[in-house]
Structures are given as structure tokens and as C-alpha cells.
Amino acid sequence: MLLYPAIKDLLNEVPSRYMLVNMVASRARKLSSEAEQSGEPLEEKAVSLAIHEVASGTLRVEDAEQELEAEQGQEQEQEQEQAEA
């Protein structure tokens, strides 16, 4: 079984495997959430779509870092709201 795009090709776009996994997972969660909210099914699995975005250069490290920071901020706000309730 061959993986396309190859990991070595993806690592040309991202500095480490750890960052690659975090980027892809974060983007896949966002794609799944958006599809669920809109009620439209995804053409492929969310992880596959995210990997293709990394390979094509549409998902970059800088963008992913900003999204991760925003997600963490939202999670902290939700935790604070739950603690106050």
C-alpha cells in the first residue's frame, strides 16, 4: 500500500512529523465540523482532504498555528463558562 502524497513530500511543507500530525488533525476536525453544520457530506474523509491541502500548499504552518491558538482560546473560554455555571 502506497501513501499519496508521500510523507517525505509532506515534510517538505512542514518542519516536523509532530507539526504535520497536529496540522492535519486540527484541519480535519474543522472540516468535519463545517460539514456537519452545513449538512453537506464530504467528498472524501476529512483527514484525506487535510493531507491534500498540506501537499498542495493551501494549508501552511503559519495558518495552522493561528487556528490552533484560536481553538485553544475557545476551549479555555468554554471551560471557564462551565466552571462558572
Please compute Rg for the chain using Cα positions. Answer: 15
Which pLDDT does position 1 carry in this prediction?
Answer: 47
What is the rounded distance in angstroms from the CA atom of residue 48 to the CA atom of residue 28? 8
Q: What's the whole-number mean pLDDT along residues 56-69?
A: 79
Taking CA atoms, 76 is separated from 19, 66, 82, in Å, by 22, 15, 10
Which pLDDT does position 70 carry in this prediction?
Answer: 77
Q: Is the pTM of this model over 0.75?
A: no
pLDDT over 50 at 78, yes or no: yes
Taking CA atoms, 32 is separated from 2, 37, 66, 67, 81, in Å, by 25, 9, 19, 15, 25
